[in-house]
């Protein structure tokens, strides 16, 4: 009996030691680059990789993978410097109960630089997200490839890039840039569905300020070269920017609530207490009496969506068109709308690209699209023509024409020229096309049309005035289009929410058959 008791005591002590050693190793891994580097990270106004993940995911839902992975490099003395995790934290958790995979670059470990082992951790998470058909979120705060590993690091990048492409259109991929993102690191976010940045703390560029100065002799700061302002207003690389880590991560949780888990699940639905039959009488006076006076299209969107909840995409870029996600009867809907407050809502190259990408995203993930139209045409001028307006405009036309999701269009005022066709008209695939009584559908405005048609009467103001009135009466109303069936119904503005909600409910099980093709050839 004595020997048995002794053996049992030894066994329990041994297990206790093993568990303590496990906790010690976990604690060491959680420290990343150590207390000093964590303090430096906080000193820059940034959270650590693990703190970011805790904010993004539901409380205590994170399951970490590969906590103890280390690099295998022996060049340049690297074998003497090994830190568990190797600069990236990976795993999965939930956002409001829905599974989400995540990786977060850890700037405190080798500056978050990508090694072969580091890449393998990300690849594993990408593969699992694709198998599970769940969204993946990448949190970037890193200095690019680990130079000491050379081509092994570059090979790791290539493996990550390939998986970005394979997953595209199958699962939502979101990139949040929370610090530096340079060199090869930028191309993975560039192939994801959305990129968001943190103001004054994050930047993206292929080559940094030092290289730029050496090669082109330009002196530029990191912020001027690739900061959040540059990428949200000029390059359109980023879809939005936030003031700090906390706001950015909370907004990512909000975005994920709008997105389906994959391309087969369909748009998510959340409980809504906003009556779909709600009317808003203020919409009856939204359109000014003067047809050349602007109004805010965003007001219409906010009054139509459930509870005024609208997540705008690329708010600071090409402001003459609005894109974003809202809900109707609790179900996610994509919105595309001309904005008369900016350039009269005209379509230009930037607006066309912005809207085309958003339409294609919605179509890939079976999110219905509502289009609010008030467009006087395409922007004229040499700058637009030299900048490829024809090809960029064709992208939006192509995107709407290839879309198989429910398409509901409401013309609130102007629908002139080729822009009428492009904005989800009945002719390119619109399922339900409504117009307000204030709608004007024509090849061009009355004044310009009359000056062309009745050029011989240009010296007679009375005749021109009469001809202009005649043209306005004939074409500047929705009824000519309605007579031909191009408009399904002329609706009262105050009933817009109810009519759209009913149309989307009717279109819920829409099926479209298209001829087989390997893929299309959109005019890139």
Q: Return the minimum-mean-pLDDT range out of 229-233, 439-443, 466-470.
A: 466-470
pLDDT tens digits, residue range 195-248? 999 999 999 999 889 989 999 999 999 999 999 999 999 999 999 999 999 999
Alpha carbons 276 and 269: distance in angstroms, whole number: 14
- 258 against 41, higher pLDDT: 258
Q: How distant is the alpha carbon of residue 378 from its chain centre?
A: 24
Q: Which residues, 6 or more positions from 445, have their beta carbon under 8 angstroms from its beta carbon?
A: 376, 414, 416
Q: Which long-range contacts does 125-129 make (Cβ < 8 Å, 24+ apart)?
A: 125/65, 125/90, 125/91, 125/92, 125/101, 126/101, 126/160, 126/163, 126/164, 126/167, 127/163, 128/92, 128/101, 129/92, 129/101, 129/167, 129/171
Q: Which fold has domain 281-439+477-506?
A: 2-enoyl-CoA Hydratase; Chain A, domain 1 (3.90.226)
Q: Which of 292, 342, 293 is nearest to 319 (CA)?
A: 342
* Confidence check: pLDDT of 456 > 80: no
Q: How distant is the alpha carbon of residue 127 from its chain centre?
A: 22
Q: Where in the chain is the domain with CATH 3.90.226.10?
A: 35-258, 281-439+477-506
pLDDT at 101: 98
pLDDT at 488: 96
**Which secondary structure element, helix H or strand E, spans residue 502, and what is its range?**
helix 496-506
Q: What is the mean pLDDT of residues 484-500?
A: 96
* Confidence check: pLDDT of 481 > 50: yes
pLDDT at 495: 98
**Where does the pLDDT of residue 467 fall: very low under 50, low under 70, confident under 90, or very high at 90 and above?**
confident
Positive or negative: CA dihedral 302, 308, 311, 316: positive
Alpha carbons 240 and 87: distance in angstroms, whole number: 26
H helix count then E strand count, the chain: 19, 17
For all residues of the chain together, what is the average pLDDT?
90
pLDDT at 445: 67
* Confidence check: pLDDT of 1 > 50: no
Check if the beta carbon of residue 480 is closer than 8 Å to that of residue 472. Answer: no
Helices (H), 370-487: 382-386, 389-402, 417-422, 446-453, 461-475, 479-483
pLDDT at 69: 78
Check if the beta carbon of residue 333 is closer than 8 Å to that of residue 505. Answer: no
Q: Which fold has domain 35-258?
A: 2-enoyl-CoA Hydratase; Chain A, domain 1 (3.90.226)
Q: What is the mean pLDDT of residues 308-323?
A: 98
Q: Which of 434, 451, 447, 496 is nearest to 475 (CA)?
A: 447
- Give the residue numbers marked as catalytic: 183-184, 418-419
Q: Which of 141, 56, 116 is nearest to 91 (CA)?
A: 56
Q: Which residues, 6 or more positions from 195, have their beta carbon under 8 angstroms from its beta carbon?
A: 175, 176, 177, 189, 204, 231, 237, 238, 239
Q: Return the minimum-mean-pLDDT range out of 57-71, 392-406, 418-432.
A: 57-71
Q: What is the mean pLDDT of residues 270-281?
A: 95
Share of the chain above pLDDT 90, in %: 69
Question: How is residue 326 written in tokens?
Answer: 């809202």
Q: Which of 242, 239, 246 is nearest to 189 (CA)?
A: 239
**Which secondary structure element, helix H or strand E, spans residue 132, and what is its range?**
helix 116-132
Q: Return the minimum-mean-pLDDT range out of 144-153, 337-346, 371-380.
A: 144-153
Q: Which of 129, 71, 84 is nearest to 102 (CA)?
A: 129
Check if the beta carbon of residue 93 is closer than 8 Å to that of residue 111. Answer: no
Alpha carbons 138 and 173: distance in angstroms, whole number: 8
- 76 against 336, higher pLDDT: 336
**Where does the pLDDT of residue 510 fall: very low under 50, low under 70, confident under 90, or very high at 90 and above?**
very high
Alpha carbons 374 and 89: distance in angstroms, whole number: 47
User: Nearest 5°: phi and psi at 436?
Assistant: -80, 160
**Where does the pLDDT of residue 114 fall: very low under 50, low under 70, confident under 90, or very high at 90 and above?**
confident
Check if the beta carbon of residue 498 is closer than 8 Å to that of residue 281. Answer: no
Q: Which of 315, 278, 276 is nearest to 297 (CA)?
A: 315
- 23 against 229, higher pLDDT: 229
pLDDT at 228: 96
pLDDT at 140: 96
């Amino acid at each position: 009996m004595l020997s048995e008791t002794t053996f049992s005591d030894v066994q329990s002590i041994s297990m206790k030691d093993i568990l303590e050693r496990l906790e010690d190793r976990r604690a060491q891994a959680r420290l990343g680059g150590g207390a000093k580097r964590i303090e430096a990270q906080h000193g820059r106004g940034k959270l650590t990789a693990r703190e970011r993940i805790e904010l993004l995911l539901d409380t205590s839902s994170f399951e970490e993978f590969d906590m103890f992975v280390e690099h295998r490099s022996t060049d340049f003395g690297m074998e003497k410097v090994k830190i568990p995790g190797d600069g990236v934290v990976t795993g999965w958790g939930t956002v409001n109960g829905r599974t989400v995979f995540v990786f977060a670059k850890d700037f405190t470990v080798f500056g978050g630089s990508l090694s072969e082992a580091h890449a393998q951790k990300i690849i594993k998470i990408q593969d699992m997200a694709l198998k599970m058909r769940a969204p993946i979120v990448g949190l970037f705060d890193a200095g690019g490839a680990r130079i000491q590993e050379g081509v092994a690091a570059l090979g790791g990048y290539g493996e990550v890039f390939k998986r970005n492409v394979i997953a595209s259109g199958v699962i939502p991929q979101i990139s949040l840039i929370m610090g530096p993102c340079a060199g090869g690191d930028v191309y993975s976010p560039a192939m994801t569905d959305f990129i968001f940045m943190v103001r004054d703390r994050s930047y993206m560029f292929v080559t940094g300020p030092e290289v730029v100065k050496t090669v082109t002799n330009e002196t530029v700061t990191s912020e001027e070269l690739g900061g959040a302002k540059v990428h949200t207003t000029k390059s359109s690389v980023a879809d939005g920017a936030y003031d700090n880590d906390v706001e950015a991560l909370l907004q990512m949780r909000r975005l994920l609530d709008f997105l389906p888990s994959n391309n087969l699940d369909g748009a998510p639905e959340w409980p809504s207490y906003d009556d779909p039959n709600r009317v808003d009488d203020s919409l009856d006076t939204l359109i000014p009496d003067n047809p050349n006076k602007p109004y805010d299209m965003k007001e219409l969107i906010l009054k139509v969506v459930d509870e005024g909840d609208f997540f705008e995409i690329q708010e600071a870029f090409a402001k003459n068109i609005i894109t974003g996600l809202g809900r109707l009867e609790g179900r996610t809907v994509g919105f595309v709308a001309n904005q008369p407050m900016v350039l009269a809502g005209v379509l230009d190259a930037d607006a066309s690209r912005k809207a085309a990408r958003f339409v294609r995203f919605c179509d890939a993930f079976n999110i219905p699209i509502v289009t609010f139209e008030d467009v006087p045409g395409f922007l004229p001028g040499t700058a637009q023509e030299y900048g490829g307006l024809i090809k960029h405009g064709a992208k939006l036309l192509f995107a709407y024409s290839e879309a198989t999701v429910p398409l509901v269009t409401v013309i609130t005022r102007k629908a002139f020229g080729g822009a009428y066709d492009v904005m989800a008209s009945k002719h390119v695939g619109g399922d339900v096309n409504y117009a307000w009584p204030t709608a004007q559908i024509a090849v061009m405005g009355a004044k310009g049309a009359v000056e062309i048609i009745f050029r011989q009467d240009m010296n007679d103001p009375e005749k021109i005035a009469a001809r202009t009135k005649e043209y306005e009466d004939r074409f500047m109303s929705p009824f000519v289009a309605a007579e031909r069936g191009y408009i399904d119904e002329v609706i009262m503005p105050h009933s817009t929410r109810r009519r759209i909600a009913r149309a989307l409910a009717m279109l819920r099980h829409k099926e479209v058959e298209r001829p087989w093709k390997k893929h299309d050839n959109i005019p890139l």
